[in-house]
Amino acid sequence: MRSFLRFLLLLPLLAWAGGDRVLRVACFDFPGSFNPVYATSETAQAVANKVYQALFNFDPQGKPCPELVGSYSRNEAGTSITLTLKPGARFADGSALDSQDVVATIALLRDPRFEYPYAADLDFLAKAEAVGPLGLRLELKGKFAPWKSYLTFKVMNADELRGVGAKEFRNRAPTGSGPYRLASVNEPWGFELARNPRWPGDLRFDRIRYAVLADPRQAPLKLLNDETDAVEIHGDDAAAYARLKEWRRRFRLFPYRKFGYTYLVFNMRKPAIGRDLRRRAFNRLQATRFLDDFLAGRGERVHSPFLLFAAEKRPRPFSVAPAQRRQRLRIMTNSESVVRRQLVLFLCEELKADGFELEPVFVEYRMFLQRLKQGDFDLAVSAFLLDIDWNMKDVLSSSGYFNYAGYSSAAMDAALEAGLREMDEGKRRAIYGRAHDLWRDELPLIPLFNLNYYMGVTREITPPRKRFALIGSCGDFFYNLQDW
């Protein structure tokens, strides 16, 4: 602990050492992996966005746009895509990035030995082949509406992937072609990125120094004490910002949204957790003011798992029979999230009136995910950060990677597949409207709310006008940091 405190005290002195322009960012978790294939946490994704590039990334409005791609086209049938890479991209070791690197990356991601968490995102591909140094041809299994959004994986160097074993690869941080490279790691206190010497464009900062905060409530103090330049601000602290002159003088507060939500999931594998029970919970949570009172302005309620419907789908209560007896069930969440812990404790009291006798279970985040995946729970409170698209196949399909409920519906599977194949946006919306009705009938999970988020940035830094205000599953507030 003492060494960490000395590290923090030295940060202001180190920030401009040797003339380097350093951005100091505080975060709330240490990345579980610096390998982009396994970058599932928000901090790990934020690092991957700076160290690696993708064929497409997302603009500040959440729309997919070319990153490594210079031009693209698809055939009339919508089943073949031709891409041409921009010339001049290089990995941090100086080697040129070409179409073979993309093909090798896709092959690794689709290889089950490497256990890529989002491998299902590439199921739409039948074949990927290089056509010259910069050309790519992607053959699709059929029409696939959101194809650009699923070509946002990070491209790695084919030479580093050749012949590598799955276990060995998992412990690697492959070379990237993004504006920065991983320079040093001081687990679990922090890590540092340094400028990629092969990056062709200008960069405002030569280094990005991340420090992990043990408690989110430390965030404003770090800004006030000039120990960091940017950090996410807790909702309660954001509410106090307008009243505190010193805070307003020292840093700016930027609101933004995450395209996702906190939800309650039921383990449908357990016979005791029947549809009537799930409907009673829905009535209490969605058709009363409970969530409004719990949020107290900290976020917005969510009424559909298909978030693009926003507030369009208003909840209607179900007719349910009164509970015949008390249901003794465990409700689990990860211990690191203050909001989710509070919500679980509130739910334990709120649902008593509907026959629930809930026992709260708080576990460390990795264990939480493991137990969700294994079905070792009754009810659980978790959160999704989603792709900015209609597609919820990972969550609601029978084989979905994040289908923790064990939900299986042939009708839902068919609707989700149809939504992916429909290229007309109006018709897609109608398909997902039917999928919403199927979800409402079964209720494997209940979406609850989308919190408000804020980033505090020191007044020494002027963010660009077109900064990110909406963050999807592959984004972060500092996505295009080279534009700051």
Residue 239, domain member (yes or no): no
Does residue 323 share a domain with residue 270? yes
Largest CA distance in the chain: 72
pTM for the structure as a whole: 0.85
> pLDDT at residue 106 above 60?
yes
Run of H or E including 346: helix 338-350
Domain that residue 218 falls in? 2-50+178-229+460-483
The three-class DSSP label of residue 311 is coil
Q: Are 382 and 267 in contact (CB under 8 A)?
A: no
User: Would you state the pLDDT for residue 366?
Assistant: 85
Does residue 275 share a domain with residue 323? yes
Does residue 424 share a domain with residue 290? yes
CA separation for the pair 474, 153 (Å, rounded): 9
Residue 243, domain member (yes or no): no
> pLDDT at residue 14 above 50?
no
Residue 473, domain member (yes or no): yes
Query: Worst-scoring range by mean pLDDT, 133-147, 277-291, 308-322, 398-412?
Result: 308-322
CA distances 347 to 185, 237, 294, 437, 456, Å, are: 40, 24, 10, 25, 31
Dihedral of alpha carbons 393, 398, 401, 405, sign: positive
Percent of the chain past pLDDT 70, that is, above it, reads 96
Does residue 148 share a domain with residue 36? no
The three-class DSSP label of residue 207 is strand
Residue 3 binned pLDDT confidence (cut-offs 50, 70, 90): very low
CA distances 390 to 32, 144, 472, Å, are: 28, 12, 12
What integer best gives the mean pLDDT of the chain? 92
User: Would you state the pLDDT for residue 10?
Assistant: 44
Spatial CB neighbours of 257, under 8 Å, sequence gap ≥ 6: 450, 452, 453, 469, 470, 471
Does residue 286 share a domain with residue 386? yes
Does residue 215 share a domain with residue 111? no
Residue 60 binned pLDDT confidence (cut-offs 50, 70, 90): confident
Report the CATH number at residue 343. Answer: 3.10.105.10
Residue 255, domain member (yes or no): no
Residue 374, domain member (yes or no): yes
Strands (E), 422-475: 445-451, 453-458, 470-471
* pLDDT tens track for 230-266: 999 998 899 999 999 999 999 999 999 999 999 999 9
CA separation for the pair 265, 373 (Å, rounded): 12
CA distances 128 to 112, 117, 380, 423, Å, are: 17, 20, 39, 21
Does residue 60 share a domain with residue 41? no
Does residue 207 share a domain with residue 75? no
Q: Structural domain tally of the chain? A: 3
Average pLDDT over every residue of 416-442: 96
Report the CATH number at residue 220. Answer: 3.40.190.10
Dihedral of alpha carbons 140, 144, 147, 151, sign: negative
Report the CATH number at residue 98. Answer: 3.90.76.10
